[in-house]
Amino acid sequence: MHLFPIFVKVAGRRCLVVGAGTVGQAKIQSLLDAGARVCVVAPHGTATVAEWALSGAILWGVREFQPVDLDGAFLVIAATNSSATNAVIHQECQQRNVLCNSVDDPANCDFYYGSVVRRGDLQIAISTAGKSPSLAQRLRQDLEKRIGPEYTAWVEELGQEREKLFAQSIDPEQRKRLLHELVSRKFPHKDSSDHILGSRGKVFLVGAGPGDVELLTVKALNVLQSAEVVLHDELVGRDVLALIPETAEVHNVGKRSGQKSARQEHINALLIDYASRGYRVVRLKGGDPLLFGRAGEEIEALRKADIEFEIVPGVTAALAAAASAQIPLTHREVSSALMVLTSHHSKFTDSDPWPAHIPTNVTLVVYMPGYAYEVTKAKLLKAGLSHRTPCAVISQATSAQEQVFRTTIADLHDAPRLPAPTLLVVGDVVRFADHATLRQQFAQQISEFQPHATVQDFVSEEQEQAE
């Protein structure tokens, strides 16, 4: 069977996806990327599909498929987990002359999804007519290694040159010849190792933010999606890792307490080795790469090896955690400075990073505070802070599992062992924390210790202390 290969414009056209699971989500995403008006029908769906519906990006009918759903559809994708349902959808589409793709069911498809290499406006689609999607994916991966991210800018440049030539009064044959010469003259030739001749690679030290993928910067996203090699920390969010190209070589070089992890010397060697061989390398770190991320050691190693590098800042945990808990890190009435430190220090030094004195008008943020809260309490009191100073332990900031426990230095030793990563904020600014979070915490305290008290009793007490 010979297929007719075309690239279809779906922008502004109504496209129907039946099914909103992980497979349906991927199909919806591809249609949204192409500018389609996407309608979805499914009784259940992923959290991402639900977010799209809430934001108005798609229309979602939360129910089973009905033939009337096909009215006005330009094309249809049947992505349910029932092959029988998908077959019925295809039959209904045939009666209406609407193109339909039934996922993983070639017999009930009018068209197939190709395995696509994308470099900006350059797209190369590979199809085996549904006989071997795995082969199509393998060929795509091979092509993505050969056709690097430099093609994006190159195609854009060629398009601009083409527009200029078409704007001139010139013989069509001559114009055609000039266009071919332009391509031949500027083609980015590559050597047998699939990297540009005479070039060295580059390392990007990228901040992935605190975990919420929406806090990733635009520059970090662009760099990450053009990466050929990625070395990432353990605590980088899964949604962020999902943005890494499938063709990229990925290494988890994270460090976790109590677990075997990559040595810093090994990480430095990997960065230098890949960059020396011409790869575009991303060193992906949680938060900001320059704050407790050992970027200084990597920068030093890259400079000694004469490797080009660039630093892409990220939203650090202190800013993200405070924002999520609605704690202003500075406030002109109670705090005019911010101090950031960590409870962990290098094994090669005996120095303690804690200062001898902490002014009362300073907000203190402790990264990686651990669970030795009795020790931390003693250090805070020794540094001159009052035992009544409020503090907050923030766990897994900006994630769906975020928890905030608010207490005082006096009672810090009773703080629960919340899941890592955690952050400790100390200072009067903690009194401004999210009241919804406080109510939830107070309700728990009420049920455990004062069954006859009310939440309002605790809130009123907090307000009186703040005043």
Only one residue has tokens 């924002």, namely: 323
Please tell me the class of the 202-315 domain.
alpha beta
Q: Report the side by side order of strands in the sheet with 337-342.
A: 337-342, 362-367, 422-426, 390-395, 403-408
pLDDT over 70 percentage in the chain: 86
Q: Provide the pLDDT for residue 458.
A: 39
Q: Provide the pLDDT for residue 156.
A: 86
Which range, of 105-119, 165-179, 347-361, 446-460, averages the lowest pLDDT? Answer: 446-460
Which range, of 92-96, 112-116, 202-206, averages the lowest pLDDT? Answer: 112-116
Q: Is the peptide bond before 416 cis (omega within 30 degrees of 0)?
A: no
Positions marked active-site: 233, 255
Higher per-residue confidence, 457 vs 402: 402
pLDDT over 90 percentage in the chain: 56
Sign of CA dihedral 441, 447, 451, 452: positive
Q: Provide the pLDDT for residue 27.
A: 94
Domain map (residue ranges) of the chain: 14-113, 202-315, 319-433
With vertex at residue 407, the alpha carbon angle to CA 406 and CA 408, rounded to the nearest 5 degrees, is 140
| DSSP, residue by residue, 214-225 | GGS-HHHHHHHH
Higher per-residue confidence, 207 vs 258: 207
Crossing angle of helices 264-276 and 295-304, rounded to 10°: 40
Answer whether residue 179 shows pLDDT above 90. Answer: no
- Tell me which CATH code domain 14-113 carries: 3.40.50.720
Nearest to 120 by CA among 198, 214, 33: 33
What is the pTM (predicted TM-score) of this model?
0.53
- Tell me which CATH code domain 319-433 carries: 3.30.950.10
Answer whether residue 192 shows pLDDT above 80. Answer: no
Chain CA centroid to CA 369, Å: 25
* Band (123; pLDDT cuts 50, 70, 90): confident
Helices (H) and strands (E) in the chain, counts: 14, 17
With vertex at residue 399, the alpha carbon angle to CA 373 and CA 327, rounded to the nearest 5 degrees, is 60
What is the helix (H) or strand (E) element at residue 204, kind and residue range?
Answer: strand 202-207
Mean pLDDT over each residue of the chain, to the nearest integer: 85
Higher per-residue confidence, 354 vs 243: 243
- Write the pLDDT tens digit of every residue in 289-335: 999 888 999 999 999 999 999 999 999 999 999 999 999 999 988 99
